[in-house]
Structure 1
Amino acid sequence: MQEIEVKYRLHELTALEAALAQRDVTLSAPVHQDDQAYAQSGWSYGQSKIGVTFARLRTQEGRHLFTVKTPLANEMACLEHESQVADRDQMHEAIKQMGFRPTVRIVKIRRTAYLDGIALCVDQVEQAGLFLELETVAAATESGTAAQARLDGFARSLGVELHRVNDTYDSLIRQALSPA
């Protein structure tokens, strides 16, 4: 399966909450997510991510999730596999031993809602800002860009000010931390 995402800078949370309320959708209570991103040895920022496998280790509410993603059509249309792990520190060392290196730490507060097979995630990302991320799952044979177009149409139907971004959170944080 593919995880398909689109991401937007969110300018006014109250406008989004009102638009969602009109559809009887309420965002969840906030949860803290602490993600460590990893890249394969030999890959560096500025190179294409298409076809390259990346790893992530997430801690949320005392649970640790290990995820690998391989971007297909673009950075936000990925083959994805995820599993819970018992020990974050041991998994961190295992990921490094598999040939990945830590890149960026992504710390965020996330609120979620679900509507018609779409996960709506409002993320306050340290060092990057406030975002709306829409996610869905598609068959491996489906066009990721077509699924993204459907998600974008849904986002635009909300009628709130959004600015679409094509970078993943690790790239956005890296840009924010880079000297101008």
Structure 2
Amino acid sequence: MTNGIREIEVKYRVDEPAALISSLRARGVDFSEPVRQDDQAYAALGWTYGQSKIGAAFARLRTENGRHLFCVKKPLANELACQEHETEVLGRDEMHAAILAMGFYPTVRITKTRRTAHVGRMLLCLDEIDGLGAYFEIEAMVGGDRPAEEVQQELDRFAQSLNVSLKQSTETYDSLIRSATVVGV
């Protein structure tokens, strides 16, 4: 089915981040200090919003604490189950030019403040996204052929066990931001 490691996640809109933090703290889980992330998302030439993301390659250039990370994701089973490759790069401007030369174009800019925590093999992310609000992601890096939907159901059970109000989203941040900015057009 797939080779290598896949990033599989679930995502939720959070109206009361303090309730989520409190629920996790009651389980002995504390989030990290906030970190600011500045992400530029890219799509391959020929792909446009409204088309399926399954099987298409997307790039991201992130700056966090002076470090620049280049990432390519390819959604496999759904938008939140991707083959992912990430590496640190030295120069953001130079990498941006290289991404354009590889046949990608910039889509949206995503700026957010992220706090993280680990529970077993899960990475928990509490994101305050400029222009969108608070979101909670639960990610797992999974090898082998285990179906993404099965992993996502397991992650969702954990989220529901927190007993806080969460509204699940199946869209990526770039799609959510694009939808929010297109609504007023």
- Alpha-carbon separation, structure 1, partners of 2:181 and 2:103: 25
TM-score where L is the length of structure 2 = 0.96
Match of 2:40 among 13, 22, 36: 36
- Gaps of at least 5 residues in structure 1 are none
Residue 119 of structure 1 corresponds to 123
Aligned to 1:107: 111
Q: Residue 71 of structure 1 corresponds to which residue in structure 2?
A: 75
Deviation at residue 34 of structure 1 after TM alignment = 0.2
Alignment length, in residue pairs?
A: 180
Determine which of 167, 170, 173 is the counterpart of 2:177.
173
**Cα distance in 1, alignment partners of residues 63 and 146 from structure 2:** 30
- State the shift of 1:140 in Å: 4.2
Q: Identity percentage over the alignment?
A: 54
Do residues 27 (structure 1) and 17 (structure 2) align?
Answer: no
Shift of 1:179: 3.4
Take 2:137 and 2:42, find their aligned partners in 1: how far apart are those partners? 21
Match of 1:80 among 81, 84, 102: 84
Q: Output the TM-score relative to the length of structure 1.
A: 0.98
Amino acid at match of 1:109: T
Give the C-alpha shift of residue 21 in structure 1: 1.0
Q: Take 1:14 and 1:67, find their aligned partners in 2: how far apart are those partners?
A: 31
Letter matched to residue 129 of structure 1: G
Is the Cα–Cα contact under 8 Å of residues 79 and 140 in structure 1 kept in the other structure?
no
Q: In structure 1, what residue type is equivalent to 2:10?
A: V
What amino acid sits opposite 2:72 in the alignment? Answer: V
Q: Secondary structure at the match of 1:50?
A: coil
* 2:78 counterpart SS class: coil
Q: In structure 2, how many angstroms separate the alpha carbons of the residues matched to 1:163 and 1:179?
A: 20
Superposed CA offset, 1:101-128 (max 9, x none) = 0000000000111011111100011111
Residues 1:12 and 2:41 aligned together: no
The answer to whether structure 1 residue 144 and structure 2 residue 148 are counterparts is yes
Q: Secondary structure at the match of 1:73?
A: strand
| 1:92 counterpart SS class | helix
1:55 Cα shift?
0.3
Q: Deviations over 1:28-80 (max 9, x none)?
A: 11100000000000000000000001000000000000000000010000000
SS in 1 for 2:149: helix
Q: Any gaps of 5 or more consecutive residues in structure 2?
A: none
2: CA distance, partners of 1:65 / 1:10 = 27
Q: Which residue of structure 2 aligns with residue 134 of structure 1?
A: 138
Please tell me whether residue 94 in structure 1 is matched to residue 115 in structure 2.
no
The alignment partner of 2:55 has SS state of coil
